[in-house]
Amino acid sequence: MNRSHPLEKLRNFGIIAHIDAGKTTVSERLLFYTGVSHKIGEVHEGDTVMDWMPQERERGITITAAAITMQWKGIQMNLIDTPGHIDFTAEVQRSLRVLDGAVVVFDGVAGVEPQSETVWRQADKYGTPRICFINKLDRMGGSFEKSYQSILDKLTKNAVAMTIPIGEEEHLSAVIDLLKMKAIYFEGEKGEIVVEKEIPADMVGKAKAWREKMVDRIAGEDDALTNKLLGGEEISNEELMAAMRKACLAFKLVPVFCGSALKNKGTQFILDAVIDYLPSPLDIGFVKGTDPKTGAEIERKFSDTEPFAALVFKVATDPFVGQLTFFRVYSGVLNKGTYLLNSVTGEQERIARILRMKSNSREELDVIYAGEIGATVGLKNTITGHTLCDKENPVVLEKISFPEPVISMRVEPKTKADQEKLIMSIRKLTQEDPTFRIKEDIETGETIISGMGELHLDIIQDRLRREFNVDANFGKPQVAYRETITAESEAEEKYVRQSGGKGQYGHVRLRLKPLERGTGFQFVDEIKGGAIPKEFIKPTEKGVIEALDKGIIAGYPMVDVEVTLYDGSFHEVDSSEFAFKIAGSMAVQAGAKKAKPVILEPIMKTEVITPDAFFGTVISDLSSRRGKIEETKERMGMKVLDAMVPLSEMFGYATALRSLTEGRASFTMEFNKYEIVPNNVAQQIMEGKVK
């Protein structure tokens, strides 16, 4: 069976944005216009195709990235609608890792918002070409020019307007295509009939000025077009589109479109722009990986004739088929029933079924080709970030990196019968979500779950109750503090035990050094001349890691530390892995105590939007929460405050803000960095007073 679409006729793209910019509404329109759905689902009515989880429909937000396949003008498109809420940032990270391009949606009233910047930076990190869509221009306060300017000011100077609106707010009637220099109207009940008309007389001058800017920017990226422009020659639309495509793929230009998804205006331009300007797998060409045995770099071309390689980017529990594993095929062809190698674990997995996802429904396939996105069921030991590949040609594709959780809570089953069920259910959820963690507290015997924020843990609780029927008690959310050192130190420890017969002997010398914030832990082996045999190095490192995990001051994990093992000694008979593990652990504890240890707390980048009347009250409240005000600005007659506030001070802030501002203010926050806790707060943490 041959592939239905050649690689150049394939587009894998995602929709990314700040919460409430209208991503899901845009996605629903795309599904309707491409014929996937025959009715437009609305977020406010809770009947969308893309937001299919009960929690998503009730709250009107996207929680999991949903994948769907559609066709437009002979091109096969795989679309992933990602969440905007920062608690679900992992969904955006993993989607961007496997997508070739992205559509960034902006709220036409607010312009660039904090999480718009976050997803933009994530797309930069993965080198994802993108197009922009300024949405919601039908709303009161909607302004194309202000939103466009905010993209230029905050995100990129390379944005180029390709369409401009005719009318704004309730007068939004159509958009002008600056390439064709035509007014485009969207008629019919759902805006499905696209009609070209002449530009209204009062808009001609404005449209010409915008087109001139567009032509200058595009021609500026292409020498041949620059010469034509300087020579006063006419540049054809085909030449402009070809130059724009080339510049967009090279991250030199970003095309910007506009409209209102809710009012069905301008959304078809997104579909055309995905085809015209975003890459096919052929434009990307290849993916890099490493040889699992030698670590040498391997390149795999996007081609059906190369050995098979796919990256698992998501695991989800489906109530009907069990565990679904989503993967992106980079090279080769996969037939149903094939055995593949998981090159990370070294185990084999059988692909019994291949599915193409239509959000939460599915289509069975016999074969899947290079460049496509699919899913399978029944894999035993494969999780997010693992590579599935041909057994004879192993490769490990670059893993996906995820942020560390910043908030924890205690969980305990209500009955003995729920104990087993709770652990099984939590394990399933940790497989699905790499930013959700579980840990047993050895001293208290409690189970601690950790996540990215209050909403994240709230959704987890809800899912445990509904999907897994687990009855449990949850403690109050706690901040995930960390510890680190601020000075260098050295330590020497011997672990010697003699009890008749074979004894225990381990002797290590360590050097501890603080690292830059966010570096993590590094272990350096500087043993020379066999002072400690090779087989005892790994156990020493294990002991070091265990000691750092327990912390020194208040039992929180210690981070951003470099530990160098530079000397020690061993006993021919008595030395053992166990003895060196204990010696390593003791030496780190002794060394860390001398290295001026401190507690670190997560600091949240917070944006509060409030009416002018409550401005002073909100500022003084944030200051009382140890907040540092970074910037204040105006947005649509509202005051906008940017502040850095410790997470420990932000519990219950939503309720407090509502009562301070008569329910008229709103806020968003996202993790920014870890910072040293002030002495008085550190004292409270150590005494266990911080709730």
Cβ(640)–Cβ(608) under 8 Å? yes
Query: What is the spatial distance between Cα 442 and Cα 459, in angstroms, rounded to a whole number?
Result: 26
Known binder of ligand: residue 21? yes
Class of residue 200 by CB neighbours under 10 A (exposed 0-12, middle 13-18, buried 19+): middle
Known binder of ligand: residue 137? yes
**Residue with token string 């729920």:** 418
Q: What is the dihedral of CA 469, 473, 476, 480, to 10 degrees?
A: -70
Known binder of ligand: residue 136? yes
CB atoms inside a 10 Å sphere around CB 621: 17
> Comparing C-alpha atoms, which of 577, 602, 593 is closest to residue 676?
602
Show the beta-strand stretches assigned E in 321-360: 322-331, 334-335, 339-342, 347-350, 354-358
- Secondary structure element (H or E) that encloses residue 583, with its range: helix 577-594
User: Cα angle vertex 229, ends 226, 234, to 5°?
Assistant: 130
| Exposure b/e, 584-605, CB count within 10 A at least 16 = b | bbbbbbbbbeebebbbbbbbbb
Query: What is the spatial distance between Cα 517 and Cα 401, in angstroms, rounded to a whole number?
Result: 17
Cβ(178)–Cβ(164) under 8 Å? yes
Known binder of ligand: residue 18? yes
Known binder of ligand: residue 24? yes
Provide φ and ψ at 649, rounded to 5°: -90, -5
Cβ(515)–Cβ(561) under 8 Å? yes
Known binder of ligand: residue 138? yes
- In this structure, what DSSP letter does residue 384 have? T
Known binder of ligand: residue 22? yes
Known binder of ligand: residue 85? yes
Class of residue 73 by CB neighbours under 10 A (exposed 0-12, middle 13-18, buried 19+): exposed
Known binder of ligand: residue 135? yes
- Secondary structure element (H or E) that encloses residue 605, with its range: strand 597-610
> Comparing C-alpha atoms, which of 282, 361, 298 is closest to residue 5?
282
Query: DSSP for 433-498?
Result: -TT-EEEEETTTTEEEEEESSHHHHHHHHHHHHHTS---EEE---EE--EEEESS-EEEEEEEEE-
**Amino acid of residue 274:** V
Known binder of ligand: residue 23? yes
**Amino acid of residue 230:** L
| Residue 300, SS3 per DSSP | strand
Handedness of CA 427, 429, 433, 435 (dihedral sign): negative
What are the Cα distances from residue 587, in Å, to 23, 486, 507, 552?
52, 17, 9, 12
Known binder of ligand: residue 501? no
Q: Is 405 left (phi over 0), alpha (psi -120 to 50) or beta?
A: beta
For the annotated binding site for GTP, the residues are 17-24, 81-85, 135-138
- Residue ranges of the annotated binding site are 17-24, 81-85, 135-138
